Structure 1
Amino acid sequence: MTRLVELSHRITEGMLTYPGIPGPRLGAHLTREASREVYAPGTEFHIGSIELVANTGTYLDTPYHRYPDGPDLSGVPLEAIADLPGVVVRAEGLRSVGRDRFAGCDVRGRAVLVQTGWDRHFGTEDYFHGHPYLEAGAAEWLVAQGAALVGIDTLNIDDTPPHGERPAHTLLLGAGIPIVEHMTGLAALPDTGFRFHATPPMVAGMGTFPVRAYAVVDG
């Protein structure tokens, strides 16, 4: 028997995901009250609206996010972001996650999810400061070993210094490896023995978008 594990943060009105990025605004294109004027008595509907920046909540980075000629949300194949065998790399308590943390891991063709435990700070000011990140050497190793996708439960897969370098994004997306950031719930997963899914809508001309990331755990 399988079980499903939620790996996404809930999107709510005004929530802050990243410093400087405004929170989403939720509204209604058609309220239930207004719909009563359109439909038969006793029949009503709600049609919602949302305004958000694509980097909100738990979201997917496609190569187009970093490279103008890379595949965007509509160009990344389902095989790259859905029904992937997964592996969790435990890195709780570490500020930087180096390639040594992946020693002995079979990552080829897998979704590699890095659990740092930083998700416990999501929704607080602490989330924005001193977050764990993936070292460039670890990203190079993941590319060389053929990882299919890389996810992490922190503010950013890279360190976020003022000079703006992003080596993990550059290496992984340059190799066509999608990234999922701001994950949560990775502690509930086994190290292996699950399938990972993180699918956004097929929006042409966009490189990032929120996903409902989840895992299907065997047995």
Structure 2
Amino acid sequence: MRIIDLSYPIHEGMTTFPVHWHPVVEITQLGRFGIENRETRKITMGTHCGTHIDAPRHFIPNGPTIDKIPLEWLVGPARVLNFTPITLPKQEFGVEDFKQRLGDDKPERLILRFDWSDHWGTMKYYTDQPYITEEAGHWLVERGVRVLAMDTPQVDSPDNGRTGPKDSPLHKIMLGAGVVFVEYCTNLRQLSRDEVELVVAPLNILGSDGSPARVIAIER
């Protein structure tokens, strides 16, 4: 059995989406040996910092929050779809790309591998990321996908605006259908099989739109 950690370590200075609604991570030591004789820390971070889950509430008014996502959705077999190598900036993948890799299978959990974590820590990570089409989003919903994990910051095009009808359409389509996203995964290159046991463990934050998560893949 192999266990592969698909989540980034949390630390000050780590990559965060450069907008005011995603705060930077701050970690402050409060308890110290020789003074309080123990170590404790205060952590300040957003619900979408690092490897995390988007609950439907992130974009859907009155949508389910992180504490309402059934745990059985977050643990179980997952198909790994390899979209490498990425040869173009902002490379688009549509329904036919998914049909080629899935055939007639209808997995509840999908992991999209782009090896985009190679660009972690650079602005290219956000500006040039690959994405999937709106038609592919509808198709995945119709196929019964419940959890969509990826090693990119999102499935939407980086060119989509942050307001108006072109603001994150895939988030609205898929989160609106009850799908949950697991964004900012890493180490997908270490996976040696196209099916793994996926374990996604978010913090149980009442009423939250998302949560940082420890994400692991198990190969048996």
Q: 2:161 & 2:56 partners in 1: Cα distance? A: 21
Tell me how far 1:121 sits from its aligned partner. 0.5
2:78 maps to a residue whose letter is: G
Tell me how far 1:109 sits from its aligned partner. 4.3
Tell me how far 1:145 sits from its aligned partner. 0.5
Residue 4 and residue 116 in structure 1: after superposition, are their counterparts in 2 closer, same or farther (change >3 A)? Answer: same
Q: Which one of the candidate residues 179, 182, 185 is aligned to 1:180? A: 182
Residue 217 and residue 57 in structure 1: after superposition, are their counterparts in 2 closer, same or farther (change >3 A)? Answer: same
Could you give the per-residue CA deviations for residues 105-127 of structure 1, whole angstroms, max 9, x where no partner exists? 15534321111111100012321
Paired residue for 1:67? Answer: 60
Paired residue for 1:89? Answer: 81
Q: Is the 8 A contact 1:99 1:138 kept in 2?
A: yes
Q: Is the 8 A contact 2:80 2:195 kept in 1?
A: no
Q: Is the 8 A contact 2:141 2:177 kept in 1?
A: yes
Paired residue for 2:9? Answer: 10
1:155 maps to a residue whose letter is: P
Tell me how far 1:138 sits from its aligned partner. 1.1
Q: Which one of the candidate residues 197, 210, 213 is aligned to 1:211? A: 213
1:13 maps to a residue whose letter is: E
Q: Quick one: percent identity of the two aligned structures?
A: 28
Larger radius of gyration: 1
Could you give the per-residue CA deviations for residues 119-178 of structure 1, whole angstroms, max 9, x where no partner exists? 100012321211111211111111000012001111221113252321221121111111
Q: Residues 1-219 of structure 1 correspond to what in structure 2 (within 5 A)?
A: 2-20=1-19, 21-36=22-37, 45-82=38-75, 84-92=76-84, 93=86, 95-103=91-99, 105=102, 108-161=106-159, 163-164=161-162, 165-218=167-220
Q: Is the 8 A contact 1:62 1:73 kept in 2?
A: yes
Structure 1 gaps, min length 5: 37-44
> Could you tell me the TM-score, scaled by structure 1's length?
0.88
Could you give the per-residue CA deviations for residues 88-107 of structure 1, whole angstroms, max 9, x where no partner exists? 11112161121112115155
Q: Is the 8 A contact 1:63 1:72 kept in 2?
A: yes
SS at the partner of 1:49?
strand
RMSD between aligned alpha carbons?
A: 1.7
> Could you tell me the TM-score, scaled by structure 2's length?
0.88
Residue 4 and residue 126 in structure 1: after superposition, are their counterparts in 2 closer, same or farther (change >3 A)? Answer: same
Q: Is the 8 A contact 1:131 1:159 kept in 2?
A: yes
Higher deviation after alignment, 23-32 or 133-142: 23-32
Q: 1:107 & 1:122 partners in 2: Cα distance? A: 31
Residue 125 and residue 215 in structure 1: after superposition, are their counterparts in 2 closer, same or farther (change >3 A)? Answer: same
Structure 2 gaps, min length 5: none
Aligned residues: 208
